A and B are shown apart, each in its own frame.
Chain A
Amino acid sequence: MPLRAFEDFSVGDTFALGDVILSREDILTFAQEYDPHAFHLEDEPPLPEFSQQLFSSGWQSCTIFMRLLVDGLLRDSTCAGSPIVEQVKWRKPVCADERLTAATTVTEVGDWPPSPSLGRVRFHHTLIRDGGDVMLEMDNTILFTRRSAP
């Protein structure tokens, strides 16, 4: 199968990227390494006004989304990296044992003037918890090699 190139993306394209469940250990391990706030490390976290249960680092939501995006879309594409995530919204605290389903939709496609052999595709990414709550939203521009020179 040929790799998905810049020309293969259109506004409105939607990709289902699979799901993931974080265990308590996953949350603690990530927080110890990258985000050791007490509220990501304790089963009864301080600051109960934000969450009464242990909740994961927002960066963990971003990185687990990224893994699903690579496995579900970028691996079989001409992806040439990303210059920017325009916005990240951590809508609700993510806790252990919740199923999070990832999806993304193309919102813009365009030229990438710094490098004419590439094009830019902007995506709106979501992680949605069973029951429908949106936990994470990201707007993200990703570059793809063009199949043919412009």
Chain B
Amino acid sequence: MSATAYERITIGDIWPFGTHVFEADAMRAFALRYDPQPFHLDEEAARASHFGRLVASGWYTAVVMMRLMVDSNAARANAARAAGLPPLVSGPSPGIDNLAWPQPVYPGDTVTFAGKVLAKRPSQSKPGWALLRKSITGVNQHGQTVLSVTVNAFVSTR
């Protein structure tokens, strides 16, 4: 019998999520809804701010990462199925640590996101599930980290 998807996860595995080009209009549309601060909304106001330029809401960078992560997980599960292997089933997350934005994201920036597996352990509270701990980064076209976070998420052990 082949190993389960959970058993095949190795500490140190790196999962590329993909790349996103940040567009000013999309940055502003998100900010208008969720984070309407002047430096996320208006080029002129941003020039007068601490940032000096329009910058993305950190929450926008985070949800862009999330979308790429979910899509890349689905693609990896499909690839496993195509290879005749059991796919990894992802569950929700109980929380994250140190969601940091070391550098701003500016319009036109290209950010590449990836996750690295730090640890895995069976869940005490949910039989059949384990907690996977991943370090996730987003790196811009200059090689600067613009987002880092450590995420805990449930994955099926079956």
Flag whether A49 is at the interface (Cβ < 8 A).
yes
Knowing A36-B70, A70-B37, say if A63 contacts B99 (CB, 8 Å). Answer: no
B residues near A86, Cβ cutoff 8 Å = 97-98
Chain B interface residue count, CB cutoff 8 Å, equals: 38
Q: Are A88 and B99 in contact (CB under 8 A)?
A: yes
A interface residues, Cβ below 8 angstroms from B: 33-37, 39, 47, 49-50, 55, 57-59, 62-64, 66-67, 70-71, 74-75, 79-90, 93, 115, 118, 143, 145
Partner among B36, B57, B63 whose Cβ is within 8 Å of the Cβ of A35: B63
Contact of A90 among B35, B39, B50, B92 (CB under 8 A): B92
Q: Which residue of A lies closest to B94 (CB)?
A: A90
Main SS of the interface on chain B? Answer: mixed
Q: 10 A–B contact pairs at CB < 8 A?
A: A37-B70, A49-B129, A50-B91, A55-B92, A58-B93, A59-B63, A64-B34, A66-B35, A81-B58, A86-B97
Distance in angstroms between the alpha carbons of A90 and B99 in the assembled complex = 14
**Cβ–Cβ contact A58 & B99, under 8 A:** no
B9 within 8 Å of A (CB atoms): no
Complex CA distance for A89 and B63, rounded to whole angstroms: 16
Q: How far is the CB of A53 from chain B (nearest CB, A)?
A: 13
Separation in Å of the A63 CB from the closest CB of chain B? 4
- Among A47, A79, A84, A88, which residue has its beta carbon within 8 angstroms of that of B101? A84
Residues of B near A58 (CB, < 8 A) are 92-93
Q: Which residues does chain B contribute within 8 Å of A39, judged by CB atoms? A: 91-92
In the complex, what residues of A have CB within 8 A of residue B100's CB?
83-85
Contact B59 A62 (CB under 8 A): yes
| Contact of A89 with B94 in the complex, beta carbons under 8 Å | yes
Q: Within the assembled complex, what's the spacing in Å between the Cα atoms of A89 and B93? A: 9
Q: Which 3 A-B pairs have the closest CB atoms?
A: A80-B50, A34-B63, A63-B34
Q: Is the C-beta of B24 less than 8 angstroms from some C-beta in chain A?
A: no
The answer to the question of B132 belonging to the interface, with a C-beta cut-off of 8 Å to chain A, is no
Query: Does B67 lie within 8 Å of A90, measured CB to CB?
Result: no
Known contacts A74-B37, A83-B101; decide if A93 and B50 are in contact (CB<8 Å). Answer: no
Contact across chains for A67 and B35 when beta carbons are under 8 A apart: yes
Q: How far is the CB of A41 from chain B (nearest CB, A)?
A: 11
Alpha-carbon separation in the docked complex, A63 to B58 (Å): 10
Is there an interface contact between A115 and B36, defined as CB atoms closer than 8 Å? Answer: no
Assuming A35-B67, A90-B95, what are 6 further A-B pairs, CB within 8 angstroms? Answer: A37-B70, A63-B59, A83-B101, A93-B92, A143-B50, A145-B50
